[in-house]
Structure 1
Amino acid sequence: MPINIGIIFSIGGILGWVVVKILKPEHHLEGLVIASCSAGNLGTLLLIIIPAICNEDRNPFGESSDCKTLGLSYASFSMALGNFFIWSHTYSLMRKSSVLHEKIHSENGIQFPENDSMTSVEAQNQYKEGRRDQEALLLPPTKPTDGAAQHQSIVPLLSKGEGSENKVNFWMSLKATLHQISNELLAPPTIAAIFGLVIGMIPWLKSLIIGATAPLRVIQDSISLLGDGSIPCATLILGGNLTPGIRGSAVKPVEIVAIICVRYVILPLFGIAVVEAAGELGFLPPSPLFQYMLLIQFTLPPAMSIGTMAQLFDAGKEECSVIFLWTYLVAAIALTVWSTIFMWILS
């Protein structure tokens, strides 16, 4: 499953990058488009879909109780792994887009209204053209003087210190990168996933918390109560994230269509090819439910954490809500169709 999720993020990221290069959205939306194509809702929806399928009388995955137990364990593992990828890869994408957006605004020295009739890209181009015209009028002639020639002859003598400066810059950039990675790994969902995996992998620690006879089973009961309320809360948060986009956004309809095509047409086809190839090579266990879980991961709508990141960095909030609105509307149809196809393939 970790390899499968990594393949999803890789293929989705490449397809999102292609969409960005072809459609050329605004700078602060590039990371949002790539994130929407690569990061799927690997937790909440699976916790809803799998028990619903297992409760059906003629489901292809066996007894209802066993199916639900295994399905929930697979969905929980998918949620934990998804948090690692989302809060590292997707978080980095959204942060870089936000930094680039702020840098463009600070360099230009002007603020671009979000709902203006002229897009920010056009305003930036006009502003840069005006700056070039002003600089052409104010700059002195480019003919070199004797002093300039002497200055140019001194420059090579000063270049000997560039090696040490490059080393300092390298170590500073390496330190900044490691600091960024540590911050991403210390996100609350990632920490919770690490704790859950550690407790699940250590038998004696698991026996202390998990089980009807565990001495610390009150911890499991408390977490279960909180987990039961997480799905309704996540649904309410999703609904709240959709409201800002109703007032208007800068995202183009063709960009929304491209994201929908990537998530619900291209990625599921890749998923069928990947899972079938892995099954033929003997990399998968003979469990239809596990294979269905791998397939359905290719068909999920964008992760809800993307909306949280957009609000955190204050970039693309309205556009993110519009993308969520249409992708989750189409997901109701796409998940039904692809689930039927996947179960037909596995039956």
Structure 2
Amino acid sequence: MGFWTLFEVASMPILQVLLISVLGALMATDYLKLLPSDARKSLNKIVFVVFTPSLMFASLAKTVTLDDIISWWFMPINIGLTFLVGGILGWIVVKILKPEVHLEGLIVATCSAGNLGNLLLIVIPAICKEDGSPFGDHGICSSVGLSYASFSMAVGGFYIWTYTYHLIRSSSVKFRAMKAAEEDALKKPNNDLLNANEKSHLLQDDDLAVTNIQDPENQAIIHPSIKKGEVSSWSKIAGTLNKIVEELLAPPTVAAIIGLIFGSVTWLKNLIIGSNAPLRVIQDSVKLLGDGTIPCITLILGGNLTQGLRKAKVKPMIIIAVVCVRYIFSPLVGILVLKAAGKLGFLAGDPLYKFVLMIQYTLPPAMNIGTMTQLFDVAQEECSVLFLWTYLVAAFALTIWSTIFMWLLS
């Protein structure tokens, strides 16, 4: 397969995302007024509660079996490593560049969470169909590749809707707490203004004893007179467990778990999957809803982009750092990880399986990050700007790295 043929294959899904984003941007303009801010927020909630869970369930229930889960045991570990590597590199970027508080979670998220869904579902079968592909028969390659991509999307969705979801939510909580503190400081009346003296502008120790401070992380009111060590460890543990449960109960995560159950249990799968399944209308309806996920997310991102280009304050160095993490450092680490796993005997002999594992380190940021920023009303415009640049670079990065990966596997 030639470089330009591969470039065309890799760039098609990227171009789709960019074209739909442009349409969303036009729909959000004051001229058309089809996708104003309130409409985007409402549509985003529908995506979160209905469309994304439908996509997760439909893909998993149809393509993944219990034998697949057992034989592909390394894939969840590999995807977890992509999040770990990207997360560490993202935090390094945050510590070095010191962005605003509301951008910290977004930067780490875009560095760690790759688009393991629609891009793999398009790119892998497309590569399999090309002449010169090193992955054998076109039909078998496409079928197996679709299963790999679907399982990758499901596992990635679980990480995204737990780890990445937590990042964006925590960033939102910190940002709101900071804003609230600033507003309180501005609104606090000075009753002694007329009789002010030099001491009236200083905060006395006695005042601290009656002041409450809000902990943005746990959203709990803590009295300053209570020492940090006096906070109950059980309360901390309970709070952490409560957060984990909340994130696991997010609709996409619940749908992924149910989809895995239906895909793994044969008699449940036969109820809804197949031309003779008695309840096949359920799968058809859920798939129909799931098909609307990617277009809606992309339209929302495009709509946010119109504001982002005017209002977003993303330093060029942040954009460059995120692009370098996603398309230079992460793929290099991925090659080392897969080489080590192969020598230890953790990988199956199928070169397509190894290719999917490698390309998981090279994908642009997950589209669901945009859903989360819209959901928590934090850094939506900056998210759109980062997505614009990372997806523009993705067409070339995916092509170059796909060529390198196939050369390593041939």
Note whether the superposition's TM-score is higher than 0.5. yes
Q: 1:21-100 counterparts in 2 under 5 A?
A: 21-100=95-174
Deviations 1:155-174 (A, max 9, x none): xxxxxxx99x9787333333
Q: In structure 2, which of residues 326, 345, 365 is the aligned counterpart of residue 263 of structure 1? A: 326
Residue 110 of structure 1: CA displacement?
Answer: 6.6
- Distance in 1 between the 2:308 and 2:124 partners? 30
Structure 2 unaligned spans of 5+: 1-74, 187-196, 206-224
The 1:135/1:297 distance shift into structure 2, 3 A limit, reads: farther
Q: In structure 2, which of residues 399, 402, 406 is the aligned counterpart of residue 336 of structure 1? A: 399
The 1:220/1:139 distance shift into structure 2, 3 A limit, reads: closer
Q: In structure 2, which of residues 333, 344, 351 is the aligned counterpart of residue 281 of structure 1? A: 344
CA contact (8 A) 1:185 1:191 kept: yes
Amino acid at match of 2:101: H
- Distance in 2 between the 1:302 and 1:288 partners? 25
User: Is 2:321 aligned against 1:247?
Assistant: no
- Distance in 1 between the 2:262 and 2:179 partners? 47
Q: As a proportion of its length, which structure holds more helix?
A: 1
Residue 237 of structure 1: CA displacement?
Answer: 4.0
Deviations 1:304-339 (A, max 9, x none): 111111112211111111101100100011111111
Q: Which moved more, 1:223-232 or 1:312-321?
A: 223-232
- Distance in 1 between the 2:198 and 2:76 partners? 54
CA contact (8 A) 1:105 1:111 kept: no
Residue 138 of structure 1: CA displacement?
Answer: 3.7
Find the structure with the greater CA-based Rg: 1
- Distance in 1 between the 2:77 and 2:341 partners? 11
Residue 186 of structure 1: CA displacement?
Answer: 1.3
- Distance in 2 between the 1:172 and 1:342 partners? 48
- Distance in 2 between the 1:79 and 1:138 partners? 57
Structure scoring higher RCO (CA < 8 A, sep ≥ 6) equals: 2
The 1:254/1:208 distance shift into structure 2, 3 A limit, reads: same
Q: What is the aligned partner in structure 1 of residue 382 from structure 2?
A: 319
Structure 1 unaligned spans of 5+: 113-133, 143-161
Amino acid at match of 1:107: A
The 1:52/1:5 distance shift into structure 2, 3 A limit, reads: same
Query: What TM-score comes out, normalization by structure 2 length?
Result: 0.69
Residue 241 of structure 1: CA displacement?
Answer: 4.0
The 1:168/1:111 distance shift into structure 2, 3 A limit, reads: closer
- Distance in 2 between the 1:219 and 1:225 partners? 10
Residue 79 of structure 1: CA displacement?
Answer: 1.1
Let me know the Cα RMSD of the aligned residues: 2.7
- Distance in 1 between the 2:353 and 2:376 partners? 36
- Distance in 1 between the 2:171 and 2:301 partners? 22
Q: What is the aligned partner in structure 1 of residue 362 from structure 2?
A: 299
Q: 1:134-283 counterparts in 2 under 5 A?
A: 138-139=201-202, 169-283=232-346
Deviations 1:223-253 (A, max 9, x none): 4444455444444344334333221311100
Q: Secondary structure at the match of 1:303?
A: coil
User: Is 2:183 aligned against 1:109?
Assistant: yes
- Distance in 2 between the 1:255 and 1:111 partners? 30
Deviations 1:95-122 (A, max 9, x none): 111111112222222799xxxxxxxxxx
- Distance in 1 between the 2:173 and 2:230 partners? 25
Q: Which moved more, 1:176-185 or 1:216-225?
A: 216-225
Residue 342 of structure 1: CA displacement?
Answer: 0.8
Query: What TM-score comes out, normalization by structure 1 length?
Result: 0.81
Q: Secondary structure at the match of 1:298?
A: coil
The 1:227/1:59 distance shift into structure 2, 3 A limit, reads: farther
- Distance in 1 between the 2:256 and 2:203 partners? 61
The 1:101/1:249 distance shift into structure 2, 3 A limit, reads: same
CA contact (8 A) 1:244 1:321 kept: no
- Distance in 2 between the 1:14 and 1:273 partners? 16
The 1:345/1:140 distance shift into structure 2, 3 A limit, reads: closer
Q: What is the aligned partner in structure 2 of residue 149 from structure 1?
A: none
Q: In structure 2, which of residues 93, 103, 107 is the aligned counterpart of residue 19 of structure 1? A: 93
- Distance in 2 between the 1:230 and 1:109 partners? 38
Q: What is the aligned partner in structure 1 of residue 59 from structure 2?
A: none
CA contact (8 A) 1:242 1:324 kept: no
- Distance in 1 between the 2:306 and 2:406 partners? 35
Amino acid at match of 1:37: C
Deviations 1:203-227 (A, max 9, x none): 2222222233333233333344444
